[in-house]
Every structure is written in C-alpha cells, then in structure tokens.
Amino acid sequence: MIVVASDHGGLSLKSAICAVLKEREIVYRDLGTDNGDSVDYPDFAAKVAAQVSSGEAEQGVLICGTGIGISIAANKYPGVRAALVHDPFTAKMSKEHNNANILVMGGRVLSEVEARNLVTIWLDTAFEGGRHQKRLDKITAIEENLRSSR
C-alpha cells in the first residue's frame, strides 16, 4: 500500500497523483490535507513517514510547496528514504540507486503533468541492489549507531 499526503501547497498535485494510483489500480490511502487551508507540512510528513517507517505502508508520496521541508521532516524517521525529485532522471535514480520509499515533490515547482510523469517513472523503476544495497546498509548502520548512542 502507498500512503499519500500534502500540505496546502501540494493539494492539486496530490489529487493528480492519487488519480494515477487509481488508474493503475494501486491500493493507496490519502492522509490529507483535504482543502486549501494553511496547514503545517511536518504534520503530514509525520503521517506518511510513520507508516512507512513502521512497515504499515510500503511506500509513500509527499508534496509541499517546494518539497524541501516535507522531505526534511520525513527523513527524521528510521528507515525512511524520502527523495525530493524534480525531473525524470532524479525520479528514476531515487528508486534505482537509492530505493527511495517516499517520493517527494514540490507543488509550486511542478505541473500536474510533470508530477504524473514522475510518479509513474518512480513506480515503474526497480531497485538495482548490488553496490547500491551496500550503500543503503551503511545508511542503516548510521541510523542504528545514532539510536544506540542516545
């Protein structure tokens, strides 16, 4: 399952992304926001990142105005690899090399057409593993060391 959320700056892109997921018959859950009222992006990052971190959801999609703040917040969760993408190359590499489990986009940066294309590329790209897995293992070790040192 994929969980999707945005703040007010990403609401229209979120609707476009949910449409792609529905068209592809991918099970997803929309965690808000549901209107254009001003809300805080860390709250929506937390909703998605907590479910991806716990394994309740396999993947997530987050959108805020630029994508920057919401990706910073999501990456505070253990095991989350939230990648801010802005073109087809970064969308592909985020999955192929980094196995990003949360796709992040900027609602004030991308058009709906661009966002639909990027989410499609990300969904269709497989993780290569190999040398890239070794690098992800190092990131996991950093997370574990930080957790145990507190």
Q: What is the pLDDT of residue 147?
A: 87
Out of 8, 86, 97, 132, which one is annotated catalytic?
97
- pTM of the complete model: 0.97
Distant-in-sequence, close-in-space partners of 112: CB < 8 Å, separation ≥ 6: 12, 13, 16
Give per-residue pLDDT as tens, 50-61: 999 999 999 999
Tell me the C-alpha distance between 2 and 24, whole Å. Answer: 12
- 64 in active site: yes
- For the chain, the structural domain boundaries read 2-148
Average pLDDT value over all residues in the chain: 97
**Under a CB-based contact definition with an 8 Å cutoff, are residues 108 and 128 in contact?**
no
Q: What is the pLDDT of residue 129?
A: 96
**Under a CB-based contact definition with an 8 Å cutoff, are residues 116 and 63 in contact?**
no
**CATH code of domain 2-148:** 3.40.1400.10
Q: What is the pLDDT of residue 130?
A: 95
Q: What is the pLDDT of residue 149?
A: 83
Partners of 29 in the beta sheet? 3
Out of 8, 64, 86, 132, which one is annotated catalytic?
64
User: Can you tell me whether residue 44 is helix, strand or coil?
Assistant: helix
Give per-residue pLDDT as tens, 71-124: 999 999 999 999 999 999 999 999 999 999 999 999 999 999 999 999 999 999
